[in-house]
């Protein structure tokens, strides 16, 4: 009886506050969570996690000393992945970020190139920016990944000391200059001889991730890999 009552209450609630697909904003049916079936089937997975020297890894050739790099989805302007990122970053869809992180975790778990990873570190926001937004989307994605991988997650060791301006409208060179000397490690010993997986929401020029990866060069025997939710080809 209680279960039936709970179901009726849920149905009544959804009449006025329907659950929305994070990729197309259509109402979800009972069996759907976060994404509608149509959008799930159309997600543009890169499958780069299974490919050495993939296009994401090539972004860092000659720049950062990266062990491996991958991205979950291809990004195309005006398409589903852009809407997903927008909802996560600006519309407070935190559960959607966790869900996408779990999808990433499942893919990474099956990749031979990520099996040696010991530590997950999300790209941090400056405290001022995080206070305004209320959360760090990269941390939420990392949380979702770690629900699958279940390894060390460090959220406060890598910090952003300078509150940089948005990268969105900057040229490639301006992006590099904007994040130079922006990050630091609070406790280097925590990453000595670790294999760190840096997590970010989207990869464009790679300037931010490269700036972070450079920080770990000072640690003893630390390896760095990278995984992002989306890749701008």
Whole-angstrom Cα distance, residue 55 to residue 71?
Answer: 9
Given this model, what pLDDT does residue 185 score? 94
Measured CA to CA in angstroms, residue 7 lies from 31, 53, 187 at distances of 13, 49, 49
Beta-carbon contacts of residue 46 (< 8 Å; ≥ 6 apart)? 54, 56, 70, 71, 72, 73, 74, 231
Distance CA 211, CA 29 (A): 43
- Mean pLDDT within 132-147: 97
Task: Give the mean model confidence (pLDDT) for residues 56-62.
Answer: 95
The whole-angstrom separation of Cα 195 and Cα 198 is 10
84 has pLDDT over 50: yes
Three-state DSSP state, 45: strand
Query: What confidence tens digit (pLDDT) does each residue in 88-107 have?
Result: 999 999 999 999 999 999 99
Asked whether the predicted pLDDT for residue 5 surpasses 50, the reply is no
Selected residue with higher pLDDT from 42 and 15: 42
Greatest Cα pair distance in the chain: 65
- The model's pLDDT over 158-214, given as tens digits with 9 standing for 90+, comes to 999 876 655 455 555 555 455 556 899 999 999 999 999 999 999 999 999 999 999
Closest C-alpha among 126, 120, 82 to residue 101 = 120
Q: What is the pTM of this model?
A: 0.86
- Which domains are assigned to the chain? 1-42 (no CATH), 43-232 (3.40.50.2020)
pLDDT at 7: 43
């Amino acid at each position: 009886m209680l279960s039936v009552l709970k179901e009726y209450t849920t149905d009544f609630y959804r009449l006025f506050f329907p659950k929305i697909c994070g990729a197309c904003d259509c109402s979800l049916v009972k069996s759907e969570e976060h994404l509608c079936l149509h959008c799930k089937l159309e997600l543009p997975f890169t499958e780069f996690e299974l490919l050495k020297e993939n296009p994401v890894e090539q972004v860092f050739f000659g720049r950062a000393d990266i062990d491996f790099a991958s991205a979950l989805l291809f990004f195309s302007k005006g398409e589903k992945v852009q809407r997903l990122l927008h909802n996560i970053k600006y519309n407070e869809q935190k559960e959607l970020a966790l869900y996408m992180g779990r999808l990433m975790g499942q893919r990474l778990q099956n990749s031979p190139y990520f099996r040696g990873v010991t530590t997950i570190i999300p790209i941090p926001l400056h405290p001022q920016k995080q206070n305004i937004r209320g959360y760090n989307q990269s941390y939420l994605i990392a949380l979702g990944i770690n629900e699958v991988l279940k390894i060390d997650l460090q959220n406060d060791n890598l910090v952003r000391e300078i509150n940089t301006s948005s990268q969105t409208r900057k040229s490639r060179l301006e992006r590099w200059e904007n994040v130079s000397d922006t990050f630091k490690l609070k406790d280097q010993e925590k990453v000595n001889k670790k294999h760190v997986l840096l997590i970010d929401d989207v990869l464009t020029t790679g300037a931010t991730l490269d700036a972070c990866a450079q920080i770990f060069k000072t640690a003893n025997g630390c390896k760095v890999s990278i995984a992002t939710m989306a890749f701008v080809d």
